[in-house]
Chains A and B, each alone.
Chain A
């Protein structure tokens, strides 16, 4: 009993120091004006300046697209992976790229997509001519999706892998065709894997900022860029924190939305 209390208190302490305190600090900072006074000006200007609202839209929109792309690629991949012979080996190969630093991967893509890079070389060889690949929305989303892919595959793989094979056999025995089996049996049972995959991909994608510059050439401006600029360049920590608070609020909203459906389904 005593040991349990100790564990519990250290957990609470951790939460207080490293989760709640930073969030409280950000919340406090967000009410500090440029002259160090206490004000709600930061929030006012966030909702009044159209560029901030556009940035918010951009962030949510691109994060949504990235999540959708990874989901469409990951589900079939994870599904067929569970059917292969050496599934643990294949899974490891898919996870392997996450061992490499994200910046290195971004720099690798700079080489791959450049005017004289391998992609353009092959296009030219095929007679399709060279194209501007870098600094386009498409290349930005492709690289972001590539980086997030393993985080989507893993939870879905686990969900599919845990699926009881006999349930599928039952479904087929009772006359359901392949599609019906998938839609009514496999999909609902793996939904939790999809949900955690979506959360794990969508939330970090909201605040991507390195890639928007390196691959997107600052043509896509998200809230992450605005936070970086306010903290490092303008040094208006109040405004930076305000954007941070709004980003956190958006994330909580997303968690809430994906969580609620889960409960409803269980009832």
Chain B
């Protein structure tokens, strides 16, 4: 038995070694390490990048900003590119975890829509370049729910949705939408306002069917619940699998988020990192990626290359009027972050 396990390990090791040897091209010692969200790039683009530049890509994924942040902060990693979200970028800049990006080395920065440049979390885009963006909103099944019944966040508290709402498991998101429903900002840190939001959130408990992460996609597609709160990109994926699903952004306000490419301080292959940034700035590559991942691209030249139906999709590309009401999450201090999370945990207990 024991001997058998050793034999299997040995065989697997030899095979993987052989495979690695084969896939390494001319500059096989020049690896670009990319750290990105799961299922967030068209794999064909990686092959194309490798072929065009001769670099070899080592691609790793993470499933939350916090997990990625911890891994980079602890050191011992050598990621040349990472893709954190807005408030995490701010936190990484504050903690000196990122290298500034030299704009002179970039080609095609003008392809990016100016709306998505120079944002509060990274003024002047000194450290980050937009990759994808999206919103937080309500997904509903038009078999059971009318569009007019979910126009506002407050509609979630309606008694007709008893035990039928699925929420995304995030303190910022759920506390934020409650603050929005009370006419407050998603970045409110006033203790009184947070307490009031918590009191209101407690009343939502009877309507909440479950508080989940990625599984919402599967459940909504299976008709398990008529209403859910999640991100626009997740909504797109659900709608592909269930034609009855619709996505809406409550007009009083919500969250708009950005995932940007950054170069962590621990990067080893800076040249390779710039090569990848420039590769992703090219409209044809950004368009191919947006079509595959189905999130909104900030690259305006790439957007024009997308199929017409995708370009005019209000889920992915809400109107400027809607965008004006949306807020980016600020990086909270550790104390305020704990406050948000403690209240959210208490709500989950309720």
Contacts and interface: CB of A to CB of B under 8 A. Distances in A.
A, B assembled together: yes
Interface of A: 34-35, 49, 51, 54-55, 110, 114-116, 132, 134-135, 213-214, 217-219, 221, 225-226, 229-230, 232-236, 239
Contacts, number: 78
A213 B335 CA distance: 26
A64 B210 CA distance: 24
A54 B349 contact: yes
B341 A219 contact: no
Given A135-B210, A219-B210, A236-B334, A116 B345 contact: no
Contacts of B166: 217
B345 A226 contact: yes
Contacts of B224: 114-115, 134
Given A115-B222, A134-B210, A233-B171, A110 B215 contact: yes
Contacts of B169: 213, 218
B346 A51 contact: yes
A218 B210 contact: yes
Interface string B154-181: 0000000001001001110000000000
A235 B218 CA distance: 29
Contacts of B348: 218, 221, 225
B306 interface: no
Contact of A34 (B67, B212, B338, B346): B338
- For B163, B218, B338, the residue with the greatest tally of chain A CB atoms inside 10 Å of its CB is B338
A233 B341 contact: yes
A214 B349 CA distance: 16
Contact of A135 (B209, B222, B334): B209
Interface of B: 64, 66-67, 69-70, 163, 166, 169-171, 209-213, 215, 218-219, 222-224, 334-335, 337-338, 341-342, 345-346, 348-349
Contact of A232 (B67, B209, B210, B223): B67
Contact of A235 (B70, B213, B215): B70
The secondary structure that dominates the A interface is loop
Contacts of A230: 341
A135 B212 CA distance: 10
A35 B333 CA distance: 11
A225 to B, nearest CB: 8
Nearest to B333: A34
B64 A235 contact: no
Contact of B209 (A34, A110, A213, A217): A217
A221 B344 CA distance: 12
B210 A51 contact: no
B163 A116 contact: no
A225 B334 CA distance: 20
Contact of B338 (A132, A225, A234): A234
Given A34-B338, A35-B334, A218-B211, A114 B163 contact: no
Which 4 residue pairs across A and B have the least CB separation, nearest first? A217-B210, A218-B211, A234-B341, A135-B210
A82 to B, nearest CB: 24
B132 to A, nearest CB: 22
Contacts of B223: 115-116
B163 A221 contact: no
A110 B70 CA distance: 31
Contacts of A219: 210-211
A218 B212 CA distance: 7
Nearest to B350: A51
A114 B222 contact: yes
B29 to A, nearest CB: 34
Nearest to A239: B338
A55 B210 contact: no
Given A115-B222, A229-B345, A132 B337 contact: no
19 contacts: A35-B334, A114-B222, A116-B222, A135-B209, A213-B213, A214-B215, A217-B211, A218-B212, A219-B210, A221-B345, A221-B349, A225-B345, A233-B341, A234-B337, A234-B341, A234-B342, A235-B69, A236-B334, A236-B338
